[in-house]
Amino acid sequence: MPKRIENVGCPYCGVCCDDLVVTVSDDGKKILEVENACAIGNQIYHHATESERVRLPRLRQPDGTYKEISYDEAIDYAARVLYNAKKPLIYGFGSTNCEGMAAAAKVGEKAGAILDNCASICHGSSLLAIFDNGYPSCTLGEVKNRADVILYWGANPAHAHPRHMSRYSIFPRGFFTGKGHKSRKIIVIDPRYTDTARVADIYLQVKQGYDYDLFNAFRTVARGHEIPEEVAGIKREKILEVVEIMKNARFGTIFYGMGLCHTDGRNHNIDIAISLTRDLNDFTKWTIMAMRGHYNITGPNQVWSWQYGFPYCLDLSKRDIAHMNPGETSSIDLAMRGEIDAFFNVATDAGAHFPIEAVKELRKHPWITIDPNICMASEISDLHIPVGIVGVEVPGIVYRMDNVPVQYRKVIDPPEGVISDEELFERIYQRLCELEAEDAAKERVKTTAEGIPAED
C-alpha cells in the first residue's frame, strides 16, 4: 500500500506551505503524488526520486572530470581546505534546515571563516533598513484573520510565491475577514503590470527607480501636507485616494519584494517603507513584511543572530569576536577584492547568482559545493558533496518569511549513504579538531590571541 504523509512542509519558497500531502510508494523509494503544492513545489518532490541523483562526493581530477570519492575523503578534503585557508567564505544556506546552519557556524567559528547567506545578495538591503528603523511586522495568520487592506510593492507573488495570496493575504477567509477577497482592498505598486497587478483593486505604475519619491508623497499626505500634481508618475488624486484607504484600514500589511529592495534607493526604500508603516500606526494598525525568497533564508538570519548577534555578513576570522560590516564583510565585495582564498557554496547556487567577476575571483581558489543537486556551482567546483534534500529526505526546523518556525518532515530516506548538511558539518568540525590536535602534537600550533574580556 502506498503511504500518504500529511502536514508536509514544502522546501521551495518563503511561504513555507505546510499542508502538502505526499504519497510514497510501498517500498518507500518513490514519490508518487504530491497534493496541495504549487507547480514548483510539486517538481521538487518528484525530482527527488525521478532524476539521477549524485550519491557520492565528486572530486575534480587534473583532466577536468569528476571522480567519485567517499564521504570520509571528502570531509578530510573540506577540513584541510578550511584549515589551510586564511579567509575562507562559507556562503548560502537558503535551502537547508537550521540544524545545518548551526553546525556550519560551529565549523566557521573553528576555521575563522566568513559566514554569509543569500540575504547578502537579496534582502540584505532590508536588513540594513531594519538595523536603522526597526520592523513593525506580524505573522501571516494575523494578515489572514484581520487585514482588510493589502499592499504589494515591487513583489510578484503570482510567480515567485505562488500560494502566498491564497493562503495568507488576498483570498483566505479569516476570523475577522469572513468574506475573504470581498472584504479586502488590494493595492499593487510596480513599474510592471504583473500577474499580481491583475488581481489588484488599485494598481499604481510607479516610474522605475522612483519608489522612494512615492513613499515620500504617501508620508507627506498622511501627515496632512501638500504634494505636487504628480509624483513618480502617479497623479496626485490617485495618491490621495490610496492614502485615504490606508488611513481608514482596520488592519493593513505592506508586502514588498526585491523590486523594492534592489531598485534605486535599495535600503533607503525599505527605510521609508518602515517609516510609512510607523506613521500609519498613529491612525490605525499597519504592518510590513519582506517577501523572503527561499523557504529557509530567514533561518540563517535567526540562527546566527542568536549565536553571534548578526544576521549575515559575519566575519569570524578575528576568532575572538564576530564582526559584521556589509560592504566590507559581504560575500560579493570580499570576492571582488580577492580576499577570499577558499569558497564553500552551501544549499544555494552562487554559480548562477553571483556576478561573473566575483565567480572568476573565487574560482582561483578551492571551491566546494555542498548541495543535493547538480547546479551551476556544482559544475565548476573542485569538490561537490551531495546531501539529503531538506523537507523531502531530511527533517528540521525552517523559518517562514514572517519568522515563524515551521517543523519540516522527511517523507522518504535519502539515497543510500547520502548524509544531511548537519551531519556533514559536524563531521567536518570533528576533522578540523583532529587536524588541530595533530598539528599541536607536532608543536606547530596555529597561535590564536589570548582573550581578555572587554569589561576588565
Q: Residue 402: what are its φ and ψ, rounded to 5°?
A: -95, 20
Is the Cβ of residue 104 or residue 362 nearer to another protein in the bound state?
104
Nearest distance from residue 367's CB to another protein, in Å? 27
In single-letter form, the type of residue at position 447 comes to T
Nearest distance from residue 392's CB to another protein, in Å? 16
Is 34:45 a contact under the CB 8 Å cutoff?
A: yes
Is the Cβ of residue 287 or residue 373 nearer to another protein in the bound state?
287
Is the Cβ of residue 34 or residue 127 nearer to another protein in the bound state?
127
Nearest distance from residue 135's CB to another protein, in Å? 5
Query: How far is Cα 245 from Cα 20, in angstroms, rounded to an integer?
Result: 36
Nearest distance from residue 393's CB to another protein, in Å? 15
447 grid coordinates: 597561535
Find all residues with CB under 8 Å of 16, minimum gap 6, and list them.
9, 10, 295, 398, 400, 401, 404, 406
For residue 136, give the nearest of 298, 270, 264, 257 by alpha carbon: 270
Is 362:382 a contact under the CB 8 Å cutoff?
A: no
Is the Cβ of residue 380 or residue 435 nearer to another protein in the bound state?
435
Nearest distance from residue 107's CB to another protein, in Å? 12
Nearest distance from residue 329's CB to another protein, in Å? 11
Is 424:102 a contact under the CB 8 Å cutoff?
A: no
Is the Cβ of residue 95 or residue 287 nearer to another protein in the bound state?
287
Is the Cβ of residue 233 or residue 405 nearer to another protein in the bound state?
405
Q: Which residues contact another protein by CB under 8 A?
A: 6-7, 9, 18-19, 98, 102, 109, 127, 130-142, 144-146, 167-168, 173-176, 250-251, 278, 281, 284-285, 287, 301-303, 305-311, 316, 319-322, 324, 395, 397, 399, 403-407, 449, 451-455
Nearest distance from residue 168's CB to another protein, in Å? 6
SS (H, E, C) 235-304: EHHHHHHHHHHHHCCCEEEEEECHHHHCCCCCHHHHHHHHHHHHHHCCCCEEEEEECCCECCCHHHHHHH
Q: How far is CA 239 from CA 219, 234, 281, 374, 378, in A?
A: 10, 7, 19, 48, 48
Is the Cβ of residue 57 or residue 311 nearer to another protein in the bound state?
311
